[in-house]
Structure 1
Amino acid sequence: MNERDLQAVAWDVDGTLIDSEPLHHEALIAISARYGVDLTNEPEERFRGVHMSDVWRALSEEYPQDLTLEAWNDQITDYYVQKADDLRPIPGAVETVRRLADMGVPQVCVSNSSRRIIDSNIRSLGIQNCLAGSVSLSDVTRGKPNPEPYVRGVGLLGLPANSVLAIEDSATGALSARRARLAVGFYNPRPGSIRAFDYVDYEIIDLSAIPDMPFFAERSRAR
């Protein structure tokens, strides 16, 4: 991948821009407990980046038969949104998004979460004015790892897919971006703790380094 070809950034949100995975896990545990299902010993990583319908399929047999996917998901979303204002950004995330915006680099958010959740996250981060738009699970028929979310994100930017750098923190999201033909940056602040995947172009330890990638740096100097 030639960094000179990169013109824009497509951000995953959960775990990449905002430290939301613990709250997602907490919401799942809390709502499951309402129906007598104890998930307290489930590792948080089990459902990291996973489409909620896939989480439902994995757990639905443990819930009462009259509980629907829609009711279950609505309750999880309600729980999450009520606490979203307490979330913290990933170190360097907000500053990086704003710096890229100041440099004239177009940006979108592409999430596997519902519209209400992604809107809550973006509002909590305060980056609305830096984005060309966002894609949520509510906007697509198939979530990550299907390429559809990133295809829609690229459409919002109006750029060729291979000119967009996706920043992801999960295998599910990275595969979605690769299938959509984006360049893939894997955010891994603890090198060696998670194996970088074959379909990753860049391993990113610090988000604040992204604006200093050669193309983006040249763009800034040209302004």
Structure 2
Amino acid sequence: MPEADASPLHSGLFLDLDGTLADSLTALKNVYHCFLASFGANGDEVEFQRLNGPPLGEIIERLRVAHKLPGIPADLLQKYSAMVSQAQQSVRPAAGAHELLAHARACGLKIAIVTSSSKLSAQKWLAFGGLADKIDDVVGGDEVSAGKPAAEPYLRALKRLNCSAALSHAVEDSRIGAMSAVAAGLQTWALAPPNNRAGWPAQVVFIERLTDLLGRIPAC
């Protein structure tokens, strides 16, 4: 695990994984529906969107209560996690991911993934997607006591990479994730369609694609 040092604070680029750096929302939506269907339950788009962002354990608990799913929570979590891991094997990096990471690296920014997924699953996907060598650190949902929308995930990433929140950028695709980044004091950019921009923090700036940031993060 990288440790903060005593040098001047750096600028950083902190990215969510699913739906942001990884083009995975379609795969995760299929997991959500298949998981519920295995118990004879049905999901819907509204619920899926509400579950975009929180730690996996919280997602399972919400589904268990809402759909009265049988079984032990730990077993439900294991089943869902296995389905997610399987689905991620076919997920590719989002359009513009390589370009944005290369630009950030050329500009001297520290780069981290801040995800509600486990650290190990995120690292496996980064290796699969050919991005592992472009990332300085990964903060997983299993490393924090309070996941998104709490500020802790981003605060932990800032500390580990010795970055200043005021000099750093976060990229999210969920309202919950954006709330976490804003609470930690980062300039926050969001990938969200026009019909999904209600109720977001006022500080968020919406973008259409990752490459929109090439001219907005510090120029080299």
TM range (shorter): 0.7 to 0.9
Residue aligned with 2:179, SS = helix
Return the offset for 1:40. 4.5
Letter in 2 for 1:51: P
Aligned to 1:60: 64
Instruction: Give yes or no for contact 1:80–1:117 (8 Å, CA) kept in 2.
Output: no
Given candidates 171, 174, 179, the residue that maps to 1:170 is 174
Question: CA shift at 1:109, angstroms?
Answer: 0.5
CA–CA distance in 2 between the matches of 1:198 and 1:149? 17
Query: Deviations along 1:34-67, whole A, 9 cap, x unmatched?
Result: 3x23224454323111332332232224111xx2
Distance in 1 separating the partners of 2:110 and 2:82: 31
RMSD across aligned positions (CA): 2.2
TM-score (norm 1): 0.83
SS state of the match for residue 193, structure 1?
helix
- Residue 84 of structure 2 is aligned to residue 109 of structure 1: no
Equivalent of 2:73, from 66, 69, 74?
A: 69
Match of 1:203 among 201, 206, 211: 206
Instruction: Decide whether the 8 Å contact of 2:173 with 2:190 is kept in 1.
Output: yes
TM-score by length of 2: 0.84
2-side partners of 1:159 and 1:94: how far apart?
A: 22
Does 1:88 pair with 2:83? no
Task: Return the offset for 1:198.
Answer: 3.5
Task: List per-residue Cα deviations over 1:167-214 (Å, max 9, x = no partner).
Answer: 1111100100111111111123x4x2222634334222231132322x
- One-letter code of the match for 1:13? L
Q: How many residues align?
A: 208
Q: 1:94 to 1:69 in 2, by over 3 A?
A: farther
Q: Distance in 2 between matches of 1:41 and 1:171?
A: 18
Q: Any idea what the Cα deviations from partners look like across 1:109-156, whole Å, max 9, x if unmatched?
A: 000112233223322321111111010111111110011111111112
CA distance in structure 2 between the aligned counterparts of 1:210 and 1:33, rounded to whole angstroms:
39
Secondary structure in structure 2 of the residue aligned to 1:167: strand
Looking at structure 1, the residues matched to 110 and 164 of structure 2 have their Cα atoms a distance apart, in angstroms, of 13
Query: 1:25 Cα shift?
Result: 2.5
Q: Which ranges in structure 2 are unaligned for 5 or more consecutive residues?
A: 1-8
Is 1:194 matched with 2:196? Answer: yes
Distance 1:28 1:195 in 2: 22
| Larger relative helix fraction | 1
